[in-house]
């Protein structure tokens, strides 16, 4: 295990295409697991995604800047003065980067510096997700989710309505379902083709993290005493089906999850600082970080599920071998 002490809130822990662990921090720095440090923001890094090229991170900050950080340095991709960039998404398939600032969604093309799109919402945008092909973007906002075609300048969005505040979102890997997390301890889902609703409740805490795994057949979430796993196989997805809970512990709540896209491993961090992983095929739970500490705020798993990166509220971070 590699252990780091960054002395700033860990906003994101991710693996880039080269398999490097990369951390975005509350002091505006991007730290690479191999030792490189880039000062990306004058202020906090509020969100992060792996760059569409797979090299380094794209981060949004409270300085209103969207920045691409690699071990060689930082490059500003966009700027919205006086605004906070609190959510970002990137698509390796379409080479697009999307970010939200207040009520606006912005889109940039990393292959075309002249390309820019901006879309307005009635309320602030709290989270973004690209569909699997990177053509459409879902924006979680108050009252539901808005869907936009990323490259089309003048359009009316598809509005998937559901009362309440939506704070996170994710497309299923086949693009058939959009799932959002709500302020009031539940998930809501839509089948995109016909906008059919799905209520997915029963959580003891707010769900801050969603992650699909097993080639889209399963979705793992935080917000419970273990990992909640929903079945998504078939044309109806989780409709009418029950979720399972893995790794239940009465003394702690899961805060963040990371699933293996093509396999059955899932990792999760807890509000008492511990990190675990489980092979859902064999129900084998592995303790990756047994010491308690500050709540885990960031988590990632490599595609082969051999390593997990994590970070916590106090700037402690690490990379652990799973097996």
Nearest Cα residue to 49 out of 11, 79, 104, 18 = 11
Phi, psi of 216 (to 5 degrees): 85, 0
Q: What is the pLDDT of residue 283?
A: 80
pLDDT average, residue stretch 282-295? 94
**Tens-digit pLDDT profile for residues 100-113:** 999 999 999 999 99
Quick: pLDDT tens for 30-50. Answer: 999 989 999 999 999 999 999
> What is the distance between the alpha carbons of residues 189 and 237, in angstroms, rounded to a whole number?
10
Helix (H, G, I), strand (E, B) or coil at 216: helix
> In the prediction, which pLDDT does 107 show?
98
Summarize the confidence of residues 234-245 as an average pLDDT: 87
pLDDT at 233: 87
- Residues 13-21 have a mean pLDDT of 96
Average pLDDT, the chain: 96
β-strands 21-25, 29-32: how paired? antiparallel
Q: How confident is the model at residue 240 (pLDDT cuts 50, 70, 90)?
A: confident
Give the CA angle between residues 160, 198, 178 to the nearest 5°: 50
**What pLDDT, on a 0 to 100 scale, did the predictor assign at position 185?**
94
Asked whether residue 241 carries a pLDDT value surpassing 90, the answer given is no
The burial class, CB within 10 Å (0-12 / 13-18 / 19+), for 237 is: buried
Per-residue confidence (pLDDT) for residue 8, from 0 to 100? 97
- So what's the pLDDT on residue 234? 82
Hey, is 62 helix, strand or coil?
Answer: coil
Q: Is 313 left (phi over 0), alpha (psi -120 to 50) or beta?
A: alpha
> CA–CA separation, 23 vs 33, rounded Å?
8
Per-residue model confidence (pLDDT) at position 239: 85
The pLDDT, as a whole number, for residue 84 is: 97
The model's pLDDT over 150-195, given as tens digits with 9 standing for 90+, comes to 999 999 999 999 999 999 999 999 999 999 999 999 999 999 999 9
Q: What is the pTM of this model?
A: 0.96
pLDDT the model gives residue 235: 81
Residue 236: what pLDDT? 84
Q: What are phi and psi of 269, to 5 degrees?
A: -110, 150
Give residue 222's pLDDT band: very low, low, confident or very high (50, 70, 90).
Answer: very high
Cα 177 from Cα 170, distance rounded (Å): 8
Q: Is there a contact between 278 and 288 (Cβ–Cβ < 8 Å)?
A: no
51-66 tens-digit pLDDT: 999 999 999 999 999 9
Q: What is the pLDDT of residue 323?
A: 78
Pick the CATH number of 206-323 from 2.40.70.10, 3.40.50.970, 3.40.50.10090, 2.130.10.10: 2.130.10.10
248 pLDDT higher than 90? yes
Q: Is the pLDDT score of 90 beyond 90?
A: yes
Question: In the prediction, which pLDDT does 284 show?
Answer: 86
Reply yes or no on whether the pLDDT at 247 is more than 90.
yes
Q: Give yes or no for residue 298 having a pLDDT over 90.
A: yes
């Amino acid at each position: 295990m590699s252990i780091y002490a960054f002395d700033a809130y860990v906003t994101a822990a991710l693996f880039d295409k080269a398999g490097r662990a990369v951390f975005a921090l509350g002091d505006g720095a991007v730290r690479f697991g191999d030792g490189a440090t880039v000062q990306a923001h004058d202020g906090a890094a509020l969100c992060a995604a792996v760059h569409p090229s797979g090299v380094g991170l794209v981060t949004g900050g409270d300085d209103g800047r969207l920045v691409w950080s690699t071990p060689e340095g930082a490059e500003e991709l966009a700027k919205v003065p006086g605004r906070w960039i609190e959510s970002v998404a990137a698509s390796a398939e379409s080479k697009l980067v999307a970010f939200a600032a207040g009520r606006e969604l912005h889109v940039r093309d990393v292959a075309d510096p002249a390309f820019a799109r901006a879309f307005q919402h009635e309320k602030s945008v709290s989270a973004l997700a690209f569909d699997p092909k990177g053509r459409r973007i879902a924006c979680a906002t108050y009252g539901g989710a808005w869907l936009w075609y990323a490259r089309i300048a003048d359009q009316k969005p598809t509005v998937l309505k559901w009362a309440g505040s939506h704070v996170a979102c994710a497309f299923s890997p086949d693009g058939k379902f959009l799932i959002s997390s709500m302020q009031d301890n539940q998930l809501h889902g839509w089948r995109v083709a016909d906008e059919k609703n799905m209520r997915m409740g029963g959580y003891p805490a707010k769900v801050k993290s969603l992650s699909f795994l097993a080639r889209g057949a399963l979705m793992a979430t935080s917000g419970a005493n273990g990992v909640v796993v929903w079945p998504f196989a078939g044309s109806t997805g989780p409709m009418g089906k029950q979720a399972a809970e893995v790794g239940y512990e009465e003394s702690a709540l899961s805060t963040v999850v990371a699933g293996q896209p093509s396999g059955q491993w899932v990792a999760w961090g807890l509000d008492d600082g511990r990190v675990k992983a489980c092979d859902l095929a064999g129900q084998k739970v592995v303790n990756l970080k047994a010491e308690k500490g500050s709540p885990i705020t960031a988590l990632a798993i490599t595609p082969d599920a051999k390593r997990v990166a994590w970070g916590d509220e106090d700037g402690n971070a690490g990379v652990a071998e799973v097996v």
